[in-house]
């Protein structure tokens, strides 16, 4: 039974395997109908948990994955994960239903679409239910990848591919940061389990890695939840099919970052940095998104910026929820609203934004355009869509009698409450919070009106539409209508929603405040007296209406904002700069000239070896045990030096070859005086052959460019050559001076006859003691021989072939 709970996560993934077969074999029925069964079933399954979870129970199941590394898939259902699971499966069902009517079963590659969508659903369920850090990361990246696939669904369009790549770069980049944060967390806590980390959270605060893990984890959350300044991928992700935008980019994936922040609040809330970052970035995003939403002309663009802004709102409220940790008796103060408001608005946002996206899709589908400048006067033609859009927009603007009103009131209460606490300087900077929030709410109001009235009111201009507009089929309208119904219903029964869903989730976020969901004594009421937030709302409405009426007069101001200062431009420049810069850097050192590479290698060797000698203090010279130097040895060395110098300084190549030959013969002579007859023999023969080969090569040099001139002197090469020589000398001297272990040659000397039955010790070593080396040296020689043969023969063959081809 418990194991089943983990398997529920994988149901969509398993169903995804069947989708292509269904698509190929059953052509008459839209594949979406089969897919619809999956989230619908899951909704029912998760709904069965509601009653128990609302009482404060939690459910946990574990599926071992790599037990030796302590990695397993842990499904942990408490208020927070259950809420998200229900959102994912519930809105998932509606989106699948909508997509059945939105995507044409003949023109579209439905099997791709539903496979990606189901994959995403599994990944998202995994993210919100995982109690194990590593599997949480696994599912997290899976959402990034499936989102990438879904955004690039119409992969023949440039914009889709650009948007997909951009979202992939940003979210995966953030995901990697988050992985770093997770690993640091697990190092600090010694466990991968989030629950266990929450228990030991007080011990983690003083750890030196604490701040790093905090920042890295927040980077992951901010990139995923499109916070400032990482929001830029979300507007470009609007190239995805509308069901995808509605599902991923309003209700589920972009809330993964919020989930992460909420889930880790009990661990990090202790830190002031966390509070500041989450609240500050959230508010900045809220303002930024709402401000620039009005600049957009694309319906989905407006919605994307509005999503960014609303996510910022929820993020700032989660920050407020973390402040509660620092306030004694926060459960009795007005301040307790923050986390509650965050979760409540999260639900509300999922309902109204989902429906608005679907309406935008319907308008696109029925009129052929999403450009708000071409739209207008659709009210009488598409009355149902208009109703839904109006409900959604008014809720987004925060008007009664819609759920957005309730959450906005609570938001303002929480922001006002933040102002009242003299906590880490909130008394000075905190005053800004409600003001920024209030201004952002005004802009939210304006763009909500802008969205609905520019589309549906005004003049009807049929000649501007690519298609003749008409009301959408009822099937397409079912999903947005259900969501719009929720928008209204939640307004009238907020406490039912609050008790069943929000309170258990709040308890998961703020375990330091409440022992059980029933301990949370928050009662949502539409009318709570003449509080300051009510006047703020009235102010929002009045100023919002005034500004909206005057919108045509000042919307042009947005064009004054230079394109070069936007974050999109920065992203483009960074990507381009990386491309060009890295190319230039590679070109700088990868010259294609062998000489340069040799210079790098030799200087590298010298630096490493001499550096090691120096650092390890291994350098020493001692002539103890050295043999006396004889006069003829000196003469031979002089000859050797002259030969070498001749080779280097020679004017003609022939002289160099002869100089090299003389060096070889002198070396043979050295072998003689150092008692190595076999070596001397071999050296003589080999030297002769190689000189002959050199002469052969010399003779075949091409006439052109065969300028006989002395090698040019170059200082850097000279320095490196000298350095290499010095290095080898030093190493040889040091090695000779510090012999630790006696040689094993004594053993050979004693046993060469008794064991091997030979007199020539060198030959016995070569073929008896260590015959393996000889075997492979023979192999090397034969390979070389065959290679030379092949080189000569094959080149001729190719020439012949080239001739034939002509």
Partner 1 sequence: MIENVLLLALALFSVSIALSLYRVIRGPSMPDRAIALDTIGINLLSSIAIVSIVLQTKAYLEAILILGILAFIGTIAFTKYIERGVIVERKSND
Q: Please give the residue ranges that form the binding site for partner 1 (CB under 8 A).
A: 630-632, 635-636, 638-639, 642-643, 646, 654-655, 658-659, 661-662, 665, 668-669, 672-673, 675, 677, 680-681, 684-685, 688, 691-692, 695-696, 699
Please say which residue, 457 or 639, places its beta carbon nearer to partner 1: 639
Here the contacts of 640-645 (C-beta below 8 Å, separation 24 or greater) are 640/666, 640/667, 640/670
d(CA 391, CA 404): 10
d(CA 128, CA 256): 8
CA distances from 274 to 58, 201, 258, 393, 677 (A): 27, 14, 13, 32, 79
Number of neighbouring beta carbons within 10 Å of residue 261: 29
Q: Least distance in Å: CB of 758 to partner 1?
A: 14
Here the contacts of 628-633 (C-beta below 8 Å, separation 24 or greater) are 630/673, 632/673, 633/673
Q: Least distance in Å: CB of 632 to partner 1?
A: 5
Phi, then psi, of 59 in degrees rounded to 5? -125, 135
The helix/strand/coil state of 64 is strand
The helix/strand/coil state of 493 is coil
Q: Least distance in Å: CB of 642 to partner 1?
A: 6
Q: Least distance in Å: CB of 688 to partner 1?
A: 5
Please say which residue, 439 or 684, places its beta carbon nearer to partner 1: 684
d(CA 202, CA 266): 10
Phi, then psi, of 473 in degrees rounded to 5? -60, 150
Q: Least distance in Å: CB of 612 to partner 1?
A: 39
User: What would the two tokens of residue 754 be?
Assistant: 């008794």
Please say which residue, 44 or 645, places its beta carbon nearer to partner 1: 645
d(CA 444, CA 227): 17
Q: Evaluate whether 404 touches 352 at the Cβ level (below 8 Å).
A: yes
Please say which residue, 630 or 793, places its beta carbon nearer to partner 1: 630
Q: Least distance in Å: CB of 740 to partner 1?
A: 30
Q: Least distance in Å: CB of 761 to partner 1?
A: 11
Q: Least distance in Å: CB of 685 to partner 1?
A: 6
User: What would the two tokens of residue 694 be?
Assistant: 């050199």
Please say which residue, 579 or 708, places its beta carbon nearer to partner 1: 708
Q: Least distance in Å: CB of 677 to partner 1?
A: 4
Please say which residue, 4 or 689, places its beta carbon nearer to partner 1: 689
Angle at 755 between CA 754 and CA 759, to 5 degrees: 65
Please say which residue, 635 or 735, places its beta carbon nearer to partner 1: 635
Please say which residue, 205 or 649, places its beta carbon nearer to partner 1: 649
Q: Least distance in Å: CB of 780 to partner 1?
A: 23
Please say which residue, 525 or 760, places its beta carbon nearer to partner 1: 760
* Closest residue by Cα to residue 224 from 190, 200, 254: 254
Please say which residue, 209 or 684, places its beta carbon nearer to partner 1: 684
CA atoms within 13 A on the CB side of 75: 21
Please say which residue, 90 or 659, places its beta carbon nearer to partner 1: 659
CA distances from 734 to 610, 618, 621 (A): 12, 7, 6
Q: Evaluate whether 512 touches 266 at the Cβ level (below 8 Å).
A: yes
The helix/strand/coil state of 139 is helix
3-state secondary structure 169-197: HHHHHHHHHHHHHHHHHHHHHCCCEHHHH
Please say which residue, 200 or 634, places its beta carbon nearer to partner 1: 634
Please say which residue, 225 or 666, places its beta carbon nearer to partner 1: 666
Q: Least distance in Å: CB of 653 to partner 1?
A: 13
Please say which residue, 33 or 698, places its beta carbon nearer to partner 1: 698
Q: Least distance in Å: CB of 753 to partner 1?
A: 16
> What is the DSSP annotation of 284-297?
HHHHHHHHHHTT--
User: What would the two tokens of residue 234 be?
Assistant: 């979300």
Please say which residue, 133 or 658, places its beta carbon nearer to partner 1: 658
Please say which residue, 373 or 710, places its beta carbon nearer to partner 1: 710
Q: Least distance in Å: CB of 648 to partner 1?
A: 12
Q: Least distance in Å: CB of 628 to partner 1?
A: 13
Give the burial class of 576: count Cβ atoms within 10 A of its Cβ; 0-12 exposed, 13-18 middle, 19 or more buried: exposed
Please say which residue, 384 or 766, places its beta carbon nearer to partner 1: 766
d(CA 584, CA 75): 48
Distance of CA 30 to the CA centre of its chain: 35
Please say which residue, 642 or 724, places its beta carbon nearer to partner 1: 642
d(CA 717, CA 714): 6
Q: Evaluate whether 272 touches 323 at the Cβ level (below 8 Å).
A: no
d(CA 764, CA 743): 17
Q: Evaluate whether 255 touches 346 at the Cβ level (below 8 Å).
A: yes
d(CA 794, CA 585): 38
Q: Least distance in Å: CB of 646 to partner 1?
A: 5
Number of neighbouring beta carbons within 10 Å of residue 52: 14
**Total length of the chain:** 806
Q: Least distance in Å: CB of 797 to partner 1?
A: 17
Q: Least distance in Å: CB of 634 to partner 1?
A: 9
Q: Least distance in Å: CB of 801 to partner 1?
A: 22
d(CA 775, CA 763): 13
* Residues paired with 77 in a beta bridge: 59
* Residues paired with 74 in a beta bridge: 62
d(CA 36, CA 798): 62
d(CA 720, CA 734): 21
Give the burial class of 540: count Cβ atoms within 10 A of its Cβ; 0-12 exposed, 13-18 middle, 19 or more buried: buried
């Amino acid at each position: 039974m418990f194991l089943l709970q983990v398997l529920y996560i994988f149901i969509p993934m398993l169903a995804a395997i069947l989708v292509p077969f269904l698509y190929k074999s059953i052509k008459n029925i839209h594949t979406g109908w089969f897919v619809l069964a999956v989230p619908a079933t899951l909704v029912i399954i998760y709904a069965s948990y509601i009653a128990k979870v609302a009482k404060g129970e939690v459910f946990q199941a574990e599926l071992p994955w790599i037990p030796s590394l302590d990695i397993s898939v842990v499904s942990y259902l408490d208020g927070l994960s259950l809420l998200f699971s229900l959102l994912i499966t519930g809105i998932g069902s509606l989106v699948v239903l909508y997509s059945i009517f939105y995507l044409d079963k003949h023109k579209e590659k439905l099997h791709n679409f539903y496979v990606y969508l189901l994959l995403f659903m599994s990944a998202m369920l995994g993210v919100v239910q995982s109690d194990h850090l590593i599997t949480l990361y696994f599912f997290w990246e899976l959402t990034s990848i499936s989102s990438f696939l879904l955004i690039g669904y119409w992969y023949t369009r440039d914009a889709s591919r650009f948007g997909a790549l951009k979202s992939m770069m940003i979210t995966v980049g953030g995901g990697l940061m988050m992985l770093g944060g997770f690993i640091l967390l697990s190092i600090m806590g010694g466990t991968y389990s989030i629950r266990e980390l929450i228990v030991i959270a007080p011990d983690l605060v003083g750890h030196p890695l604490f701040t790093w893990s905090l920042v890295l984890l927040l980077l992951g959350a901010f990139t995923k939840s499109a916070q400032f300044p990482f929001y830029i991928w979300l507007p470009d992700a609007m190239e995805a099919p509308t069901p995808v935008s509605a599902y991923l980019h309003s209700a589920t994936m972009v809330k993964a970052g919020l989930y992460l922040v909420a889930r880790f609040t009990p661990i990090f809330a202790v830190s002031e940095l966390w509070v500041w970052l989450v609240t500050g970035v959230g508010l900045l995003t809220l303002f930024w998104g709402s401000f620039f939403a009005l600049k957009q002309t694309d319906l989905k663009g407006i919605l994307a910026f509005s999503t960014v802004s609303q996510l910022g709102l929820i993020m700032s409220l989660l920050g407020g929820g973390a402040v509660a940790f620092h306030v004694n008796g926060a459960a009795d103060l007005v301040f307790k609203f923050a986390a509650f408001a965050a979760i409540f608005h999260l639900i509300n946002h999922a309902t109204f934004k989902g429906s608005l996206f679907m309406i935008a899709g319907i308008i696109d589908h029925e009129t052929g355009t999403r450009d708000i400048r071409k739209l207008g006067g659709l009210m009488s033609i598409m009355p149902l869509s208009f109703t839904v859009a109006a409900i959604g927009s008014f809720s987004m603007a925060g008007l009664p009698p819609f759920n957005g009103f309730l959450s906005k009131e609570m938001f303002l209460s929480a922001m006002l409450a933040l102002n009242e606490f003299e906590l880490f300087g909130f008394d000075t900077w905190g005053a800004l919070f409600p003001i920024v929030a209030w201004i952002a709410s005004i802009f939210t109001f304006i763009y909500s009106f802008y969205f609905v009235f520019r589309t549906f009111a005004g003049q009807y201009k049929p000649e501007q539409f690519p298609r003749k507009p008409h009301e959408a089929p009822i099937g397409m309208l079912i999903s947005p209508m259900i969501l719009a119904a929720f928008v209204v219903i939640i307004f009238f029964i907020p406490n039912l929603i609050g008790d069943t869903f929000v309170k258990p989730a709040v308890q998961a976020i703020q375990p330091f405040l409440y022992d059980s969901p029933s301990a949370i004594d928050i009662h949502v009421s539409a009318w709570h007296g003449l509080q300051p937030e009510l006047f703020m709302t009235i102010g929002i409405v009045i100023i919002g209406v005034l500004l909206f009426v005057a919108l045509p007069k000042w919307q042009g101001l947005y064009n004054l904002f230079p394109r070069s200062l936007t974050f999109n431009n920065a992203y483009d420049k960074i990507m381009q700069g990386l491309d060009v810069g890295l190319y230039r850097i590679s070109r700088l050192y990868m010259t294609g000239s062998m000489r340069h590479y040799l210079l790098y290698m030799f200087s590298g060797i010298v630096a490493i070896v001499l550096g090691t000698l120096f650092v390890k203090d291994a350098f020493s010279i001692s002539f103890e045990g050295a043999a006396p130097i004889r006069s003829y040895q000196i003469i031979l060395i002089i000859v050797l030096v002259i030969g070498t110098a001749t080779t280097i300084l020679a004017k003609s190549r022939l002289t160099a070859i002869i100089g090299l030959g003389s060096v070889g013969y002198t070396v043979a002579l050295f072998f003689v005086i150092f008692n190595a007859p076999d070596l001397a023999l071999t050296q003589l023969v080999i030297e002769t052959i190689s000189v002959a080969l050199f002469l052969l090569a010399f003779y075949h040099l091409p006439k052109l460019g065969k300028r006989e001139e002395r090698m040019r002197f170059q200082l850097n090469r000279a320095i490196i050559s000298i350095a290499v020589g010095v290095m080898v000398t030093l190493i040889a001297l040091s090695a000779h001076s510090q012999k630790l272990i006696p040689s094993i040659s004594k053993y050979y000397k004693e046993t060469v006859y008794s064991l091997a039955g030979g007199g020539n010790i060198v030959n016995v070593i070569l073929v008896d003691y260590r015959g393996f080396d000889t075997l492979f040296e023979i192999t090397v020689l034969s390979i070389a021989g065959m290679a030379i043969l092949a080189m000569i023969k094959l080149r001729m063959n190719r020439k012949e072939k080239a001739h034939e081809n002509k």
